[in-house]
Amino acid sequence: MRFLGIDPGLNLTGYGIIATDNNRLQCIHAGYINTSPGKPLTARLLTIYEGITSILKEFSIDAVILEKLYAHYKHPVTACLLGHARGAICLACAQSGVAFFEYAPTRVKKSILGKGHASKLQIQHMVEQVLGVRLKKDVPFDVTDALALAMAHFYIITKKFTVS
């Protein structure tokens, strides 16, 4: 099976594809979709939508996993903008007929590291260790978070965890 983890953002949407084979995880592809802050919102959402749609077609994805929306009361506009990006991704999934799942960040961290609170560097280290990849230093954490989402989904549905 192939899982596409997506860390949505209006400026940068990270994604990571993992495949499972005999309970072994393998990184198939990872990257990000970048939009220009100077462009209109509609153009940026179209870029995200078309990017995700292309990935879904090219890699024969079985399930898409997004982080649940968390909104801090001090930053309501940020939550709205993130909601727009998530909407474009959800539409791409619905039109492609791909299964869709979402998890809270603490659940993802607990699945990957055994605890619900971890730093971005801890997540990146575990992702690299489990997948046997070395991410470049300039790779945004959005990509690492996307891979972590895909890994967490595998652990949750199979009830297997990296840490006991």
pLDDT of residue 161: 57
Is it the case that residue 129 has pLDDT exceeding 70?
yes
Angstrom distance (rounded) from CA 44 to CA 73: 25
pLDDT per position as a tens digit, 41-97: 999 999 999 999 999 999 999 999 998 877 667 777 777 888 899 999 999 999 999
Our answer to whether residue 62 is catalytic in this structure is no
Neighbouring residues of 58: CB distance < 8 A, sequence distance ≥ 6: none
Domains annotated for the chain, with CATH where assigned, are: 2-158 (3.30.420.10)
Residue 23, phi-psi category: left (phi > 0), alpha (psi -120 to 50), beta (remainder): left
* Candidate list 67, 102, 128, 138, residue with the active-site label: 67
* Candidate list 7, 50, 102, 128, residue with the active-site label: 7
pLDDT of residue 163: 47
Is it the case that residue 19 has pLDDT exceeding 90?
yes
Angstrom distance (rounded) from CA 16 to CA 129: 15
Our answer to whether residue 142 is catalytic in this structure is yes
125 close to 14: Cβ distance less than 8 angstroms: no
Is 131 strand, coil or helix? helix
- The DSSP code for 21 is E
